[in-house]
Structure 1
Amino acid sequence: MSLLINDECIACDACREECPNEAIEEGDPFYVIDPDRCTECVGYYDEPSCVGVCPVDAIIPDPDNVESVEELKYKYEQFQEGE
Structure 2
Amino acid sequence: MALYITDECINCGACEPECPNTAIYEGGLAWSWGGGTSLDAVELEDGTAVAPDAPQAPLSDEVYYIVSGKCTECIGFHEEPQCAAVCPVDCCVADPEYAEAPEELLAKKEWLHQA
User: Separation in 1 of the partners of 2:26 and 2:96?
Assistant: 21
- The 5 A counterparts of 1:3-82 are 3-27=3-27, 28-81=61-114
Q: Secondary structure at the match of 2:63?
A: coil
Q: Secondary structure at the match of 1:64?
A: helix
Larger radius of gyration: 2
The normalised TM-score by structure 2 is 0.69
User: Separation in 1 of the partners of 2:111 and 2:97?
Assistant: 22
Write out per-residue CA displacement over residues 26-52 of structure 1, whole angstroms, 9 at most, x where no aligned residue. Answer: 112111100000000001001001101
User: Separation in 2 of the partners of 1:79 and 1:4?
Assistant: 19
Q: Secondary structure at the match of 2:93?
A: strand
Q: Which runs of 5+ in 2 are unaligned?
A: 28-60
The normalised TM-score by structure 1 is 0.95
Q: Which runs of 5+ in 1 are unaligned?
A: none
User: Separation in 1 of the partners of 2:101 and 2:3?
Assistant: 13
RMSD of aligned alpha carbons: 0.8
Percent of residue pairs bearing the same amino acid type: 51
